[in-house]
Amino acid sequence: MALLVQKYGGTSVGSVERIDLVAAKVAAARERGHQIVVVVSAMSGETDRLLKLARSVDPRPQPRELDQMLATGEQVTIALLAMALARRGVPARSYQGWQVAIQTDQAYSKARIRNIQTERLLADCKAGTVPVVAGFQGVDEAGNVTTLGRGGSDTTGVALAAALKADECQIYTDVDGVYTTDPRVEPKARRLDRITFEEMLELASLGSKVLQIRSVEFAGKYKVPLRVLSTFQEGPGTLITLEEHSMEEPLISGIAFNRDEAQLTVSGVPDRPGIAAAILGPIGEANIEVDMIVQNVGADGTTDFTFTVHRNDHERAVEIARRVAQELRAKGVRSAVDIVKVSLVGVGMRSHAGIAAKMFRVLAEEGINIRMISTSEIKISVVIEDKYLELSVRALHKAFDLAESRIV
Amino acid sequence: MALLVQKYGGTSVGSVERIDLVAAKVAAARERGHQIVVVVSAMSGETDRLLKLARSVDPRPQPRELDQMLATGEQVTIALLAMALARRGVPARSYQGWQVAIQTDQAYSKARIRNIQTERLLADCKAGTVPVVAGFQGVDEAGNVTTLGRGGSDTTGVALAAALKADECQIYTDVDGVYTTDPRVEPKARRLDRITFEEMLELASLGSKVLQIRSVEFAGKYKVPLRVLSTFQEGPGTLITLEEHSMEEPLISGIAFNRDEAQLTVSGVPDRPGIAAAILGPIGEANIEVDMIVQNVGADGTTDFTFTVHRNDHERAVEIARRVAQELRAKGVRSAVDIVKVSLVGVGMRSHAGIAAKMFRVLAEEGINIRMISTSEIKISVVIEDKYLELSVRALHKAFDLAESRIV
């Protein structure tokens, strides 16, 4: 008998019929002798509907009120799933974030979980009742409702699994695992049986939409075995673990890409200490997340400072960068949104030289110009013009033999 | 400067435009120097949509889960109204039932308020912030979400006004006051400037849909001046107060009717003590509310026991009555749903004889047969065939001169 946290996403609970399918899956897992704690998202489309409603009242709605409202999406699905379970003879109780309680800080719309009380959930499990917990939401110290940001239900699932010391956190979604790249871009993409947390972290942060990055961070930190699998299709999914790959494995696990970024360059900045902080400080204060950061040394004692932000934050970021550029007596600010970031990821590349060179050669052979490069121990990212996305992904997928089956 | 609790119903917050109209009204009242606490219902149609969703999962959804889900309706409108107020420069904060907290018992779907904590609301008022409180919902001792039943937002408004010692509780709706009868049935119906709690209680309980009965009970008990007025039309509305009418007033304040009842008769019950309890005990235990109760003495040592319940409870009530009838060795159970209850209400009738006789005569002259009669100090109710509803109301409205203007 294992204690499993099962998280079902928006498409998995997108209709009454699908909620009943989820109830059947939960009931079956319970039949097999497992203790189940369920986490659900809002019905697909519901969060967007609520957002639109809020924005029709105020284009920039009050963050506290927006969270108060968005939390209703999950509140509806937890109740419906608990009803569907009860109808199948499975005792179930729904819990909003504050009822568990899932305690967070006060950063509305991107709150972080501080603590989870487990007494009620453990008591339910012991009594044979299935707790159905609202994902994506929590409560701050003052009793305000907070939300964890897009995809936050994954984080809820993993955090619950960690707090409950669950045997596995199973993330049910509409794909049957983690692939070498997006099959919509490269039909030869292949499902991975397992992948390390580090690789998954790079894949998630770089744009593979399967899991929210924070949930993987959490899972890695608390050593929660994480499994991605499909609600609609039987199969083992992809297990995300601490274990390293075997020696025979290939260098690269997957190719990620991200179309949601914008690139900003502050050019002709006097090259002296503190420049990076002077530019990124105000960006951070405006709660804009920065992804890639590259600084080039120029010839005339000045430097070009380039970074990427989420495309939604592009205009605000440019506004701030212009102000800072003026204060720093920089030459100016350039920006671009017609870009895409493509990344190779693999723990194998740690011990192998020449991966970067091969990547750049493949892109050059296709006539693709690289605008920006950034590397870490297990990934290499390039920013290129967005029209080259498919071409670059397919060329890299082929060059690194990702369609071949491999020993795992 | 007064402290006003303003409650806006579902049609008043039925769209984004209407929510903005409500925000404008609240802002205007605040401009005039008043402290405002707002209570809102769910957007019109939303509660029904949620109910339908729940019933598509389970025709008899778990009460706890249903309340968990229905509470989202108000949660959306409090957030939207707080956003709309903030956009107009009025600081506002939304509160769910548990956030206030509005503490109730655990009777899901018909919970009763036990206590309201006022600290946060009073602190907001003092700070110039407008608290926007979700109507219809509360929280029990164990932290479960409860709802107060249909129309419960009025109860929330009055209970808040009582707890806050507000100067007035203003119930904004889509009608501009309390009328002598339903204008859709009798176009000559007239708006009353004021009415006593007792009269309003009878009118509300007898089917005038303006206010929920429990809110009037509350208001009377805690001496909260209650005003019914229109969101969409300027005007003084109808004030519901403790004051008695002057001597010159007419006998009758209004004519109420209720189409939502069903009549049950347990016939041929042995006439001995404890019969009423034996029949109504199991009905009450099934949480079915009984309205009229009449017992006739029969000739042969048996009696007929007749009562009315809400039409929704008809089948369950018949089932229970049949079981009890068998145990009591009664002759049988008859029931009817094609009935309507029509009531004359007025504190004036206390000191005047002959009202009942006049009422029965008016009905007889129209050839309307009376199936059941029940009276109290300030009302006379009859049950008649439902096809006679309009005819009876118009005849009584005319006979008691209700269309005439009067001194108030």
Q: Cβ separation of A76 and B78 shorter than 8 Å?
A: no
Q: What CATH superfamily is the domain B3-174?
A: Acetylglutamate kinase-like (3.40.1160.10)
CB count, 10 Å around CB of A201?
Answer: 22
Q: Report the share of chain A in percent with pLDDT over 70.
A: 94
DSSP letter at A388 equals: G
Closest C-alpha among A40, A15, A14 to residue A26: A40
Most confident of A289-298, B39-48, B250-259: B39-48
CA B75 to chain centre: 22
HSE-CB at B302 with a 13 A cutoff on CA atoms is: 13
The whole-angstrom distance between A85's CA and the closest CA on chain B is 10
Longest dimension (CA), chain B: 75
The answer to whether A124 contacts chain B (CB < 8 Å) is no
Interface predicted TM-score of the whole assembly (ipTM), two decimals: 0.74
Q: Where are the domains of chain A?
A: 3-174
Place of tokens 């709660």: A287
Q: What is the mean pLDDT of residues B67-83?
A: 98
Which distant-in-sequence residues (6+ apart) come within 8 Å of A254 by Cβ? A178, A179, A180, A181, A192, A195, A199, A203, A208, A345, A346, A402
Which distant-in-sequence residues (6+ apart) come within 8 Å of A13 by Cβ? A19, A22, A40, A41, A42, A43, A44, A77, A80, A81
Q: Are A146 and A137 in contact (CB under 8 A)?
A: yes
Closest C-alpha among A72, A148, A65 to residue A105: A148
pLDDT tens-digit map of B201-220: 887 665 556 777 778 888 88
pLDDT tens-digit map of B351-407: 777 788 889 899 989 999 888 888 888 888 999 999 999 999 999 999 998 986 544
Q: Which residue has the higher pLDDT, A321 or A250?
A: A321
Of A16, A57, A99, Cβ closest to residue B143: A99
Q: Are B341 and B308 in contact (CB under 8 A)?
A: yes
> In a 3-state reduction of DSSP, which class is residue A122?
helix
Q: Are B98 and B138 in contact (CB under 8 A)?
A: yes
Of B54, B83, B144, Cβ closest to residue A80: B54
**Would you state the pLDDT for residue A206?**
58
> In a 3-state reduction of DSSP, which class is residue A81?
helix
Find, in chain A, the residue whose alpha carbon is nearest to that of B101.
A143
CB count, 10 Å around CB of A374?
Answer: 18
**Would you state the pLDDT for residue B198?**
84
Q: What is the mean pLDDT of residues A59-84?
A: 97
Q: How confident is the model at residue A127 (pLDDT cuts 50, 70, 90)?
A: very high
CA pair distance A196, A239, nearest whole angstrom: 8
H-type alpha helices, A4-151: 16-31, 46-57, 63-87, 97-100, 119-126
Whether the predicted pLDDT of A408 surpasses 50: no
Closest C-alpha among B217, B213, B203 to residue B256: B203
**Would you state the pLDDT for residue A63?**
96
Find, in chain B, the residue whose alpha carbon is nearest to that of A88.
B58
pLDDT tens-digit map of A199-222: 888 886 655 667 777 788 888 888
CA pair distance B230, A113, nearest whole angstrom: 45
How are the residues of chain A apportioned to helix, strand and coil, as percentages rounded to the nearest 5?
40, 25, 35
Q: Cβ separation of A69 and B50 shorter than 8 Å?
A: no
Between A and B, how many residue pairs show a Cβ–Cβ distance under 8 A? 101
- What DSSP element (H or E) covers B389? helix B389-399
HSE-CB at B330 with a 13 A cutoff on CA atoms is: 27
Find, in chain A, the residue whose alpha carbon is nearest to that of B23.
A57
**Would you state the pLDDT for residue A250?**
59
Judging contacts by C-beta atoms under 8 Å, the chain A residues touching residue B57 are 16, 19-20, 80, 83-84, 87
Q: Across chain B, what does the average pLDDT equal?
A: 90
Whether the predicted pLDDT of A185 surpasses 70: yes
Whether the predicted pLDDT of B178 surpasses 80: yes
CA pair distance A254, A277, nearest whole angstrom: 33
Of A57, A71, A75, Cβ closest to residue B68: A75
Q: Which residue has the higher pLDDT, A270 or A79?
A: A79
CA pair distance B162, A124, nearest whole angstrom: 38
DSSP notation for A24-64: HHHHHHHHTT-EEEEEE-PPTTHHHHHHHHHHHH-SS--HH
**Would you state the pLDDT for residue B301?**
81
Q: Which residue has the higher pLDDT, B195 or A35?
A: A35
Closest C-alpha among B150, B201, B209 to residue B185: B209
Find, in chain A, the residue whose alpha carbon is nearest to that of B100.
A143
CA pair distance B80, A56, nearest whole angstrom: 9
The answer to whether A102 contacts chain B (CB < 8 Å) is no
**Would you state the pLDDT for residue A126?**
94
Q: Judging by DSSP bridges, how do beta strands A102-104 and A3-8 pair with one another?
A: unpaired
CA dist A128 to A51, A80, A89, A131, A132, Å?
37, 19, 11, 9, 13
Which residues 39-98 on chain A approach chain B with CB closer than 8 angstroms? 50, 53-54, 56-58, 61-62, 64-66, 68-69, 71-72, 75-76, 78-80, 82-84, 86-87, 93-94, 96, 98
Residue type, B71: A
Find, in chain A, the residue whose alpha carbon is nearest to that of B56.
A16
Q: Judging by DSSP bridges, how do beta strands B379-385 and B370-376 pair with one another?
A: antiparallel
CA pair distance B228, B199, nearest whole angstrom: 14
CA pair distance A74, A146, nearest whole angstrom: 13
pLDDT tens-digit map of A132-165: 999 999 999 999 999 998 779 999 999 999 999 9
Q: Are B122 and B164 in contact (CB under 8 A)?
A: yes
Judging contacts by C-beta atoms under 8 Å, the chain B residues touching residue A75 are 68-69, 71-72, 75
Q: Are A374 and A308 in contact (CB under 8 A)?
A: no
The answer to whether A100 contacts chain B (CB < 8 Å) is no
Judging contacts by C-beta atoms under 8 Å, the chain A residues touching residue B80 are 53-54, 57, 65, 69
pLDDT tens-digit map of B344-353: 998 878 777 7
Find, in chain B, the residue whose alpha carbon is nearest to that of A139.
B99
Whether the predicted pLDDT of B228 surpasses 50: yes
CA pair distance A310, A262, nearest whole angstrom: 6
Q: What is the mean pLDDT of residues B87-102?
A: 97
Q: What is the mean pLDDT of residues A362-367?
A: 92
Considering the entire predicted model, what is its pTM? 0.76
Q: Cβ separation of A65 and B87 shorter than 8 Å?
A: no
Q: What are phi and psi of B61, to 5 degrees?
A: -65, 150
Whether the predicted pLDDT of A80 surpasses 50: yes
pLDDT tens-digit map of B187-201: 999 998 888 888 888
The answer to whether B145 contacts chain A (CB < 8 Å) is yes
Q: Cβ separation of B72 and A68 shorter than 8 Å?
A: no
